[in-house]
Structure 1
């Protein structure tokens, strides 16, 4: 697997994702104005984009982000990638992937899901959180396409998605999947040690159930990282046809790979690319931690023995860019 991924890294370093754009020397970052469609209140979102200016690392809270707030966006139109974090996460949880994709010619939008983030857990454990996340991504996508500064630089025909953990659930809904929320109780009866997912024994409150599953046909390609996918029966996946790549850690102790990512690959009506990363855990997919992060949140920053998170991310991030270049039919120089 790693020889193929290293080859992908070499190819990405040689080519830019957008043929019509100028040279990419750095990465810009700015906030995006978006509104939560469920509660009609502001929703935090951030945009990473290719820049013709050289940029350095910026400290943003406990994160060391490879982007500059003052950098301009490069000329031309770029493919767009939407990012959905895991439960109780934030829009900065995958900042290294976002910066990596931006350096390779993508605009990347990452949201903080209202009601399911590290500061606001008001919707966790409800149907509204599960269905609302998908509507939030769609709302952030619309806000991006309506933003007068961003719209001239977005290729509307080339839009992809990356979702981690509960963000994987979000991606499957956006791709046309229809979950059966009752399946989580059966899963948790067998996996009571899945601390976060099964804290309520798999019982999901029906508040917000009227939102229902809402696909977004504008998104053409999906990458799922350690997805929570057990709630999708085979019948609920029959409408999912978009290209999909799934990554899962061999040592994931938060979500069973067998019942989630691997079962998803078996149940999908179309072929899904699945990469099982040896020794990797659930939190290995989060951005490499700064010293401040390691001190504050050691559980999120500690990987199983033998894992170099930063080195592994360089390979995975390059492979994800290659996947989107292929599945979104992006022209390369």
Structure 2
């Protein structure tokens, strides 16, 4: 009987692998979304399926990060594909989840990522940082662009739109799912636990500290075009009202990272989020060896040492960031693809 179960498990795994196997290569091109009403232009990238097999190049060059091989500016494969929009973490950028974007494109997804003004690697203006309500709106604008005026609109299946976010990008995803910022509730929480990372960051950024800003933050920022969400070790769970978290009605995959090297406390972040969400449409994954920074790219040999020399303190993002991280990426890719395809 045990032998039969092993055979069945192997057969099912093979079927799953065959289902994900697609005759596509990942392509990539630049993404520009102009702000016709203000000064918040967005820039990033779109990864997408192509039948072109070359010339292959890397999506970006770095002394620290391993790039993903893509065919730049190739002709898209002729079909309609689901769209996934990515949101990076605090002071990250559109390249942070390129490893996931390229893998999803190979499996038949169009993937868009932008660098959020005010909270990205290259844009940290305090006034833009304070306007945290603009992050979810950035994602909605990318969806507007991808399904409307862009060259990709003919390839996007507007009935299959998904989102994944890491860290502050996870916060962004939860807001888009319908959770409502609760300034008073967060204030009460931070009065009792002032040393929590999210309390310090949101205070330093002056989030919701004027009546006008509070109204913007506590507004409904949801986007009902998004069918399902993947949340990667988010921060800021306690800033949302519990009532609004309980009312989220779309599927949500939540990853928690128990290797707590980021300053986030798992019990009041990912574990608290999954406890508040409706059980019927949420799934929680907490691999024993997963860390917050495993949702970033794979580090090159010597990347840790280079960061330790040039950006002391930042080298932690490359801790176990090579082969071990690559294996975790494969697990995350499979889990996200399976969740979205069944949502």
TM-score (ref. length: structure 1): 0.84
User: Matched residues in 2 for 1:197 and 1:285: separation?
Assistant: 23
TM-aligned CA distance change 1:184 to 1:234, over 3 Å: closer
TM-aligned CA distance change 1:103 to 1:192, over 3 Å: same
TM-aligned CA distance change 1:134 to 1:314, over 3 Å: same
1:66 to 46, 69, 74: 69
The 5-angstrom pairing of residues 111-122 of structure 1 reads 111-122=114-125
TM-aligned CA distance change 1:197 to 1:74, over 3 Å: farther
Deviation per residue, 1:232-251 (Å, 9 max, x gap): 23112243110011001111
Is 1:313 equivalent to 2:329 in the alignment?
yes
TM superposition shift of 1:9: 6.9
TM-aligned CA distance change 1:200 to 1:138, over 3 Å: closer
Q: Please, which runs of 5 or more residues in structure 1 have no aligned partner? A: 18-22, 328-333
Q: SS state of the match for residue 239, structure 2?
A: coil
Higher fraction of helix: 2
Q: SS state of the match for residue 30, structure 1?
A: strand
User: Matched residues in 2 for 1:184 and 1:307: separation?
Assistant: 39
Q: Is the CA contact 2:104–2:110 (under 8 Å) kept in the aligned structure 1?
A: yes
The 5-angstrom pairing of residues 228-267 of structure 1 reads 228=235, 229-253=237-261, 254-267=263-276
User: Matched residues in 1 for 2:11 and 2:267: separation?
Assistant: 28
User: Matched residues in 2 for 1:128 and 1:139: separation?
Assistant: 16
Q: SS state of the match for residue 115, structure 1?
A: coil
TM superposition shift of 1:70: 3.5
Is 1:80 equivalent to 2:83 in the alignment?
yes
User: Matched residues in 1 for 2:88 and 2:46: separation?
Assistant: 14
Aligned to 2:156: 154
TM superposition shift of 1:182: 4.4
Worse-matched range after superposition: 237-246 or 217-226: 237-246
User: Matched residues in 2 for 1:168 and 1:70: separation?
Assistant: 29
Aligned to 1:283: 293
User: Matched residues in 2 for 1:78 and 1:134: separation?
Assistant: 23
TM superposition shift of 1:176: 0.9
Deviation per residue, 1:212-255 (Å, 9 max, x gap): 33110100100000012221231122431100110011112421
TM superposition shift of 1:68: 2.2
Aligned to 1:99: 102
User: Matched residues in 2 for 1:317 and 1:127: separation?
Assistant: 32
TM superposition shift of 1:14: 0.9
TM-aligned CA distance change 1:76 to 1:246, over 3 Å: same
Is 1:15 equivalent to 2:23 in the alignment?
no
Deviation per residue, 1:135-181 (Å, 9 max, x gap): 00000111111244201110000000001111111111111110213
Aligned to 1:330: none
TM-score (ref. length: structure 2): 0.82
TM-aligned CA distance change 1:45 to 1:8, over 3 Å: farther
TM superposition shift of 1:112: 0.6
User: Matched residues in 2 for 1:282 and 1:142: separation?
Assistant: 30
User: Matched residues in 1 for 2:91 and 2:170: separation?
Assistant: 14
Aligned to 1:226: 233
Is 1:216 equivalent to 2:218 in the alignment?
no
User: Matched residues in 2 for 1:219 and 1:105: separation?
Assistant: 18
Q: Which has the higher contact order (CA 8 A, sep 6+)?
A: 1
The 5-angstrom pairing of residues 268-279 of structure 1 reads 268-271=277-280, 272-279=282-289
Q: Please, which runs of 5 or more residues in structure 2 have no aligned partner? A: 1-5, 308-313
Q: SS state of the match for residue 67, structure 1?
A: strand
User: Matched residues in 1 for 2:17 and 2:326: separation?
Assistant: 17
Aligned to 1:42: 41
Aligned to 1:300: 317
User: Matched residues in 2 for 1:225 and 1:231: separation?
Assistant: 17
User: Matched residues in 2 for 1:277 and 1:27: separation?
Assistant: 28
Q: Is the CA contact 2:118–2:128 (under 8 Å) kept in the aligned structure 1?
A: no
